[in-house]
Amino acid sequence: MLSIGWALGLSLLLASPPPPPEDPVSARQTATRFIQALTAADVVRARSMCLDGAGFKALSRHSPDPKAYDARLSETLTAYASEMRQGLVFKDALVADALLMPASDKHQGLVLAVVHAQFFLPDGKPLESPLVLTFVRQGSEWRFLLR
**pLDDT per residue as tens digits for the range 6-50:** 444 434 344 444 443 344 578 999 999 999 999 999 999 999 999
Kindly state the percentage of the chain with pLDDT values over 90. 46
| Contact partners, residue 72, CB within 8 Å, separation at least 6 | 146
- Which amino acid is located at 87 in the chain? G
Q: Find out whether 120 and 89 touch, Cβ atoms under 8 Å.
A: yes
pTM: 0.77
CA 70 → CA 23, 48, 55, 125, 142, distances in Å? 30, 12, 10, 34, 17
| Contact partners, residue 93, CB within 8 Å, separation at least 6 | 28, 31, 32, 35, 115, 116, 117, 118, 133
Query: Mean pLDDT score of the chain, rounded to an integer?
Result: 82
Pick the CATH number of 24-144 from 3.10.450, 3.30.870, 1.10.3470, 3.40.50: 3.10.450
CB atoms within 10 A of CB 74: 14
Kindly state the percentage of the chain with pLDDT values over 70. 84
- The CA distance from 27 to 108, in Å, is 20
CA 29 → CA 25, 71, 73, 86, 141, distances in Å? 6, 26, 21, 24, 11
pLDDT at 84 over 80: yes
